[in-house]
Structure 1
Amino acid sequence: MPPPPPSDRVNWPSDFGCRFIVFVDTEEEFDWAAPFSRTARSVRAIAALPSMHRRFIDHGVAPCYLCDYPVVADSAAADTLRSLIADKGVAIGAQLHPWVNPPHDEQPSTHLSFAGNLPPALEVAKLDALTRTITDAIGAPPRAFRAGRYGLGPRTLRLLAERGYRVDTSMRAFHDYSRAGGPDFSEIAPDAFRTEERQLIEVPLTVVYTGALRRHGSRWHRLAGHVPRGHGLLARSGLLSRVPLTPEDVPIDEAMAAVRLAVDQGARLLTFSFHSPSLVPGNTPYVRDAADLARFHRWWTELLALLARLDVRPASLDEVIDAADRVT
């Protein structure tokens, strides 16, 4: 993905301030080390969402739940989601996991786990099935989208705009998935920008380079990738770390340092993200046991306290869209 021209960057209105939004990849549980399978469709972990949701609401945070097909096709999970959106500002978006999203006209594989690699007609059919199922289950069409595994393709943004989506958050800033057959976002910065005739707002996942080499972080990170354990050596030396804003595999001290740096550098919108199955130990590599889950919750407690001290206020999906619509 080439970087957007400066004219497409969203210049947030002055009264927007510095804000943050939380996206939750709301999805089925599956073995992350196993081949992609259509049979891994359990959504039992959705039952843990209301407790985490209440923690967010108590801090004024209205999450956007990016739901995939097994979640919204399950009646109990859909009931849970409908109860969550009763709170002001909470939104339901879409997340496309091709291997569990009908129609099932392909053989699941790593390459086709990136929806943008699907045959054009099949990508359209899967997106339409997901959008329709969310609309039927929730009672309103989704306005935000994330491609599972960040698997945007050359047609995806146009398809989203044609279907009335307003926000895409499929780009993970400064990350490259091309070795696995996915897209390369290494030239995408965390700043929001307009795309597809300016109808669609791209809100990349916030990633911050920290350390002495951060000013040329993408270049040094790319070079370190050609050296065995190069990224780890740079991070341990304090020279360069690439820090996504997520509690999954990112220590709280690194996340807090990244937030402080982003705010100091003038960031206007920070995006945080995690996977819903992480709320139950044993579902993801990030939360394997009760101790990991306790660390997960402490991460959010400390992070939300820091954001409050820095006067970085939460934003709902509607507030993000409305603010972007007020500027050109």
Structure 2
Amino acid sequence: MSPPFRPADGRPVVWRAGFGTRFTLLVDTEEEFDWRAPFRHDGWGVATTAALPDAHARLAGMGARSGYLVDYPVATDPAAIDALRAVMAQGDATIGAQLHPWVNPPFDEALSNHSSFAGNLPKALEGAKLDRLTDALTAIIGTAPTVYRAGRYGLGPNTLKLLAARGYRLDSSMRARYDYGAQGGPDYRAIANHAFRTGPDGGIVELPLTTVFTGRLRRGGAHLYRAAGRIPRGRGVLARLGLLHRVALTPEDMPLADVLEAIRVAVGEGTRVLNFAYHSPSLVPGHTPYVRDAADLVAFWRWWDAVLALLARLDVHAASSDDILAAAD
């Protein structure tokens, strides 16, 4: 197998005067499927999209502006489309694209872990899938989407050129400080949290998903975390001792206390845009490993209550993807 794709960061975005420190929320708006099962073209549902309007209203009421990165099953189901339109009618919402290649035609690849990362596909096939998705979303929102996230964070060597050719202007596929190479995916360990210019002629703004190192040894950051990974249970020991913990800004499998500390660290380090995410099926118990039952859903909302309250106290305000593109120089 070829080595994992390793993107490089580029020229940092220079934010317009007065932009301040902001946060964004980009939701992986996708089908329900069995996370433990092999990839397949069928067997999915989109019933959880019915929860989107109420969830959007609740988050907007706490100051969030959500961007919904929609994949093909959601973009082509009539009931799911109705839910998206109900969200858009409320305001404080944008629609972008998310490519899950295993459920996005044309289906010309053999299903595998490797092919589940769209960036591993042949350029023509990745482009054809992106065209089908872009067309479906354009039919919903009336204009071509400009924001993209690869499902499973699966960028590849052709993706940014394909996006630029189709008018995409913001990508949020890079998950800072994570490595998916063991699964056949890309390696983002060298990617930091700052937004930067990438793609042909720097025409795409890359907004990585924010990942923060916390703990007394956090200044060792990526290097120390990588070294600890070579020792059995090494990372868990460092985290339990409060020495080093890698924290992503998501309610999914990230304890609230750790995330609150990560937010303080990120703001203190000068991160200008804190990029949050969750998967839309987590809005209904039983569809993701993160929200298995009613108690998990209560914890999910308690997490957002506390996180958004802290952001307000720190004077970190919401920014939509449109706001981010307008403020990027």
Question: What's the TM-score, normalizing by structure 1?
Answer: 0.97
Whether 1:4 and 2:14 are equivalent positions in the alignment is no
**2:286 match: secondary structure:** coil
Per-residue displacement from partner, 1:239-264 (whole Å, max 9, x unpaired)? Answer: 10000000000011000000001111
Report the Cα distance in structure 2 between the residues aligned to 1:241 and 1:188, rounded to whole angstroms: 17
Match of 1:136 in 2: 139
Would you say the 8 A contact 1:209–1:217 is kept in 2? yes
Would you say the 8 A contact 1:28–1:40 is kept in 2? no
Match of 2:304 in 1: 300
**1:64 match: secondary structure:** strand
After TM superposition, the structure 1 = structure 2 runs for residues 89-128 of structure 1, keeping only pairs within 5 Å, are: 89-128=92-131
Match of 1:33 in 2: 36
Match of 2:227 in 1: 223
Whether 1:191 and 2:188 are equivalent positions in the alignment is no
Shift of residue 141, structure 1, vs aligned partner: 1.3
The 4+ residue runs of structure 1 with deviation greater than 4 A are none
Of the candidates 38, 44, 49, which is equivalent to residue 47 of structure 2? 44
**2:140 match: secondary structure:** helix
Report the Cα distance in structure 2 between the residues aligned to 1:116 and 1:271, rounded to whole angstroms: 22
Shift of residue 2, structure 1, vs aligned partner: 4.6
Report the Cα distance in structure 1 between the residues aligned to 2:278 and 2:219, rounded to whole angstroms: 27
Match of 1:179 in 2: 182
Amino acid at match of 2:242: G
Would you say the 8 A contact 2:65–2:92 is kept in 1? yes
Would you say the 8 A contact 1:89–1:317 is kept in 2? no
Report the Cα distance in structure 1 between the residues aligned to 2:54 and 2:140, rounded to whole angstroms: 21
Report the Cα distance in structure 1 between the residues aligned to 2:46 and 2:208, rounded to whole angstroms: 26
Would you say the 8 A contact 1:73–1:137 is kept in 2? no
Q: How many matched pairs?
A: 323
Shift of residue 4, structure 1, vs aligned partner: 2.2
Match of 1:70 in 2: 73
Structure 2 residue runs of 5 or longer lacking an equivalent are 1-5
Report the Cα distance in structure 1 between the residues aligned to 2:9 and 2:57, rounded to whole angstroms: 37
Amino acid at match of 1:84: V
Report the Cα distance in structure 2 between the residues aligned to 1:166 and 1:138, rounded to whole angstroms: 17
Whether 1:247 and 2:273 are equivalent positions in the alignment is no
Match of 2:284 in 1: 280
**1:15 match: secondary structure:** coil
**Percent identity at matched positions?**
58
Would you say the 8 A contact 2:57–2:90 is kept in 1? no
Structure 1 residue runs of 5 or longer lacking an equivalent are none
Per-residue displacement from partner, 1:106-138 (whole Å, max 9, x unpaired)? Answer: 121111000011111110100111001111122
Question: What's the TM-score, normalizing by structure 2?
Answer: 0.96
Aligned-residue CA RMSD (Å): 1.0
